[in-house]
Chains A and B, each alone.
Chain A
Amino acid sequence: MKNLKSESSESILTRITTQWQTKPFFSTGLALLVMIILQTIALGFDFPSVGSWFGTWLQNWINILRNNSGVGIIALGMTLVIISGGIDLSVGSTLVAIGALVMMMIDIGPKGILLNAGITGTPAFIIAIIVAVIGGVLLGQVTGLLITKGKLPPFIVTLGTMKIFRSVTQQFMTGYNPTVPKEFLSIASLQIGGQLLMPILYWLILAIVLHIISMRTTFGRQVIAVGSNERATKLSGVNVNKVKNRIYALMGLLVSLSAVLQVSRIGSMDYANAGSGYEMDAISAVIVGGTRMSGGRGTILGTVLGTLIIAVMNNLLNLVGVPPFLREAFKGVIVIGSVLLQKKESNS
């Protein structure tokens, strides 16, 4: 009898482990759930004052989501890059370059480009955003062309552009402090129900759009094909170079949107430090979200979960009072742990 029982519980366990090993979504989802439960406990959940507790809980969540929307948006593009078998280390520097471009456009000081052209207010903002997007796509295109036409490894190319974009921006912007008009800040700080929800909303919309692109469009599926087997994809009549160019252009586009968001949240930019570490944060989120580092497998949804896991964990560590220096270590543990799981899966 005892034997039988242990056998059946064993089978449940095996089922969970197979699910865990074969469906990255399952494992990330489960991990997130555990995090949220721990976080709930850490926030001092108790029944009598559930109302006020819920208020704190919700506020805490809104803060988490808002603070991670910038990296979250970049991680969406990074997902496609990594699925295709590539990597983009230049996202943080691109963010700074595009951020500087946006601020120069909308500057209301004496050097403001659009102001001097006689354009102010909403039209100026729209133009600035369009220019930012075009700039982001162009910078992404530079990366793409170096990878496809120059036949260089993405790691090398983006390591180079990472240095170039930031350093050139810093030099170019020395001694120039653009003033961002207050109205521009409402892009991020427009309040809904008394809450700063706009960044979360942008992230959510972009995640849905990227998810649809990845699942339903020719381009999205070709990205997976390229990452899984580039040679076979090429022999199937797919223009692999074109697909790769588009991936990096899309990455640039998303970074430029993240840059606009960043400028509108803070109203200024620290060219030396803004966006630095974003590439590693985005890559971590993608990896934790179950995307295979060598390409061919991964989902946008997974990346959103991955971003959340890292964010919630950070929040949790903060709540329980783990010193800030140590928090990065936990991030590292999460990343290594999730890749260990992926490895198990590919062996089976």
Chain B
Amino acid sequence: MNVEMRGIYKSFGANEVLKDVRFSIVPGEICALLGENGAGKSTLMNILGGVLPPDQGEIYLDGNLVDFRTPADSLNAGIAFIHQELNLINDLSIYENMFIGRELKQKNGFLDTERMCRETSQLFDRMSLDLDPRTMVRDLDASYKQIVEISRALMMNASILIMDEPTSSLTQTEIARVFDMMRTLKDHGVGIVFISHKLNEVMQICTSFAILRDGVKVAEGLVSNVTTSDLARLMVGHEIRTMALQREKEDSHEVLRVDKLSDDKNFHDISFSVNAGEVLGITGLLGDGRSELFQSIIGAARDYSGQVYFEQKPIKVQNTTQAVDIGLGYVPRNRKENGIIKDMTIIENSSIVSWPRISKFGFINQFLQNQKFTEQVRKLQIRLERGTDLITSLSGGNQQKVVLAKWLNTEPKVLILDNPTQGVDVGAKEEIYDIILNLADEGVGIVVLSSEAQEVIRVCDRALVMYHGAIQGEVVGETMNEHDIMRLATGVSLN
């Protein structure tokens, strides 16, 4: 089946997400849909999958105009969307999952288990898969779950598959298994849209590519005609290093060093060091293991092997209380889940970390608490009405500043900031960057974890790029540009 999307426009409020996008896919094609976060890939595919209606534009299947209003419309027309979070029920077997919602029944109303198993087996045979339909989905590894989900789509006669980052949670061997399945499908004449950030995989499996940038399709063509480097450049655009960072640096001592850290799951063989007054960036794509790495270091996640040195002394932090005591601060990502305590006031949120320090016989010194709070409000320019209001009454940017304040109150020697400007508007972003740079000037060693290359370039002296739990390379000076960061983050090496 030929699919063609023409002149697609879509905006959310004033934000134009897609502008006159044309996209097509033919049988037997595996097309990589590429672009940075927020480029409009998901929106485009949600329109094709019937999840969102376009503001303008048409979709043609084999030359016939169609109008998808719900995901079911799209599925009935033969287009299946395999989301990143799989829609399988772990506690049912494979065949039950394959027929969920349209179970086959015998004449007497009971389920026709045998026929469902038989039809599932027949499909698996066609795909040369060796799977028992009666296996529980829970017992399958991630790649087979993916395969079951794809098979279910085929069972419903899908001839176009949209796969949203299918490999992000898979290991190397599992990826190979899914790729085998994709090749088989290709030979059967199925068209596949492959959304991914991993350029090496794109080179490996895809036949064609289309690149979106800021809602506009900027390039398309055959994969055989390009290199990963071309793709990375096209994704980012031509401008290189938006704002140069020139900070005077004195010779300073090392405050944090990490030597060959591994946790056997999320990160392996990580070594780096941070000096006082330095801003080190750690970047990469989602799921590269950087948050897990630093949460392990502060004692809030899995145990690790390797050695951490704090001001030249070997340490092993058992829990977050110890981390606070030695002067190691961690501003977490996902403010809502990890940063704020929504039932508490602004003042309390700003001082929870320092309560043990400002209390006597267990009683919190309210005067000291207010004093420190007022000081931070002034220093960080937090805009609020009353400190006794709930934290949730503040805007995202100001909430983030309160989360920063609770750590600044403890006067850390090393401050780790995980996605510090997540969900923060542009103005507040700049203010937070200034706060970070001021802290560094005061001699705090700073680590900024971020998936935004521009942010890393804006505030960091140098940056490490992670890929699949390992450090893929370091960027500094000339190499600190979006292009090189993107290449490292997608698993390409710089040389």
Contact = CB atoms under 8 A, between A and B. Distances in A.
Contact of B324 (A219, A221, A228, A237): A237
Given A217-B363, A218-B362, A231-B338, A237 B344 contact: no
Given A218-B364, A222-B355, A234 B300 contact: yes
Contacts of A237: 320-321, 323-325, 353, 410
Interface string B272-284: 0000000000000
A234 B341 contact: no
B355 A229 contact: no
A2 interface: no
Given A228-B341, A232-B338, A232-B341, A219 B321 contact: no
B337 interface: yes
A237 B324 CA distance: 6
B70 to A, nearest CB: 27
Nearest to B322: A237
A235 B341 contact: no
Contact of A231 (B321, B337, B352): B337
A36 B81 CA distance: 62
A229 B340 contact: yes
A236 B364 contact: no
Interface in B337-370: 337-344, 348, 352-353, 355-356, 359, 362-364, 366
A72 interface: no
Interface residues on A, range: 20 to 34
Contact of B332 (A224, A227, A232): A232
A131 interface: no
A251 interface: no
A43 to B, nearest CB: 40
Contacts of B340: 229, 232
Contacts of B342: 228-229, 296
B406 interface: yes
A260 to B, nearest CB: 25
Given A221-B348, A224-B343, A216 B323 contact: no
A221 B362 CA distance: 11
A229 B295 CA distance: 17
B68 interface: no
A224 B345 CA distance: 11
Which of A216, A228, A231, A237 has most B Cβ within 10 Å?
A: A237
B319 interface: yes
Contact of A225 (B332, B338, B352): B352
B344 A224 contact: yes
Interface string A277-307: 0000000000000000000110000000000
B323 A217 contact: no
B401 to A, nearest CB: 16
A11 interface: no
Interface residues on B, range: 20 to 34
A217 B330 CA distance: 24
Interface string B294-331: 01001010000000000000000001110111000010
Contacts of B323: 237
A239 interface: yes
A228 B342 CA distance: 7
Interface string B205-225: 000000000000000000000
Contacts of A233: 341, 352
B77 to A, nearest CB: 38
A129 to B, nearest CB: 23
Given A228-B343, A232-B341, A296-B343, A221 B364 contact: yes
B355 A218 contact: yes
Nearest to B339: A232
A217 B344 contact: no
Contact of B364 (A216, A224, A238): A216
Chain A residues touching B, majority SS: helix
B364 A217 contact: yes
A156 to B, nearest CB: 21
Nearest to B358: A218
Contacts of B348: 221, 225
A296 B390 CA distance: 13
B321 A239 contact: yes
Contacts of A236: 320, 352-353, 406
Interface string A40-60: 000000000000000000000
A313 B166 CA distance: 60
A233 to B, nearest CB: 7
Contacts of A227: 343
Contacts of B338: 231-232, 235
A209 B207 CA distance: 72
A51 to B, nearest CB: 46
Nearest to B362: A217
Nearest to B337: A231
A220 B338 CA distance: 20
Interface string B257-285: 00000000000000000000000000000
Nearest to B324: A237
Nearest to B354: A237
A307 B355 CA distance: 32
Interface in A222-258: 222, 224-225, 227-229, 231-239
Contacts of A222: 352, 355
A217 B359 contact: yes
Contact of B330 (A228, A229, A235): A235
Nearest to A226: B341
A197 to B, nearest CB: 30
Contacts of A297: 343
Contacts of B330: 235
A238 B320 contact: yes
Contacts of B343: 224, 227-229, 296-297
Contacts of A238: 320-321, 352
23 contacts: A216-B366, A217-B364, A218-B355, A218-B363, A222-B352, A224-B344, A225-B344, A225-B352, A228-B341, A228-B342, A228-B343, A229-B340, A231-B338, A232-B339, A232-B340, A233-B352, A235-B298, A236-B406, A237-B325, A238-B321, A238-B352, A239-B321, A296-B341
Interface of A: 216-219, 221-222, 224-225, 227-229, 231-239, 296-297
Interface of B: 295, 298, 300, 319-321, 323-325, 330, 332, 337-344, 348, 352-353, 355-356, 359, 362-364, 366, 406, 410
Given A221-B344, A235-B339, A237-B323, 13 more contacts: A217-B359, A217-B362, A218-B359, A218-B362, A218-B364, A225-B341, A228-B344, A232-B332, A233-B341, A236-B320, A236-B353, A238-B321, A297-B343
